[in-house]
Amino acid sequence: MSVDHPVTMNLAERPAPEVAAHLLATRPSLHRAGEKAINLRIQADALQWIAANVTSGMRTLETGCGYTSVTLVACGAHHTAVSPIAGEHQAVLDKCNELGLLTDQLKFVCEGSETALPRQDPTPLDFVLVDGSHAFPWPFLDWFYTAPRLAIGGHVMVDDTHLRTGATLRSFLVGESAHWELVAELKRTAVFRKLDEDVVNPSWTGQPWGARVIKRRWLRRLWWR
């Protein structure tokens, strides 16, 4: 994969993997900490997974925005980015314009996912990226409000599995193997395919992950009593 494009090169007709490679090589700072431009991008392997697997016309949603938004635009997705910082949206739009990528299929919802997602129309999705706030319980809320919308066969990407919240969501979905298939285990990211509609089960006894932990705690208590 070539990464030596000049910054101003028009990548509009180039495949998404080249746009991802270009971003990774040029390292633009698309995020904001107050007035300061910073770079909080996803790991390279996750960005490359998106570029290789999301295809034109897919309905996609991410919490947060940045390199992933630009790459999803390059994939030709009908993409929604839910994140609260308008300056980051402008930086993404500027980068798309600079690369000659059309943004008519890109929509920003400028609000925290915790309030925006429950109010959205439950339109179907083919791909969801959970990469907004990593504080408890945000990744779980992001999953909870988007999992029912994901089409069977669609994918959810859980980022930052090295953090406790991401690790817990990953662990839960691994335990739910009747409903989710782990299809990619990347450096700090896990990708799951949705297998059926029964993904948000209100009964904890029907969730192997939760039931298993309780059982182990009981055994430990009995052992040390």
Residues in contact with ligand SAM by the rule CB under 6 A: 30-31, 40-42, 63-68, 82-85, 88, 112-114, 131-133, 138
Percent of the chain that is helix, strand, coil (3-state, to 5): 40, 20, 35
Sorted by sequence, the CB contacts under 8 Å of residue 205 that are 6+ apart come out as 211
Residue 97 C-beta: closest distance to ligand SAM, Å: 17
The residue among 67 and 127 lying less far from ligand SAM, judged by its C-beta, is: 67
Residue 96 C-beta: closest distance to ligand SAM, Å: 13
Residue 206 C-beta: closest distance to ligand SAM, Å: 29
Q: Which residue is nearest to ligand SAM (CB)?
A: 66
For 179, the 3-state DSSP assignment is coil
Q: Which residues of 160-196 are buried (b: 16+ CB within 10 A; e: fewer)?
A: bbeeebbbbbbebbbbbeebbbeeeebebbbbbbbee
The residue among 91 and 199 lying less far from ligand SAM, judged by its C-beta, is: 91
Residue 22 C-beta: closest distance to ligand SAM, Å: 14
Q: H or E stretch including 164?
A: helix 164-175
The residue among 159 and 176 lying less far from ligand SAM, judged by its C-beta, is: 159
The residue among 19 and 176 lying less far from ligand SAM, judged by its C-beta, is: 19
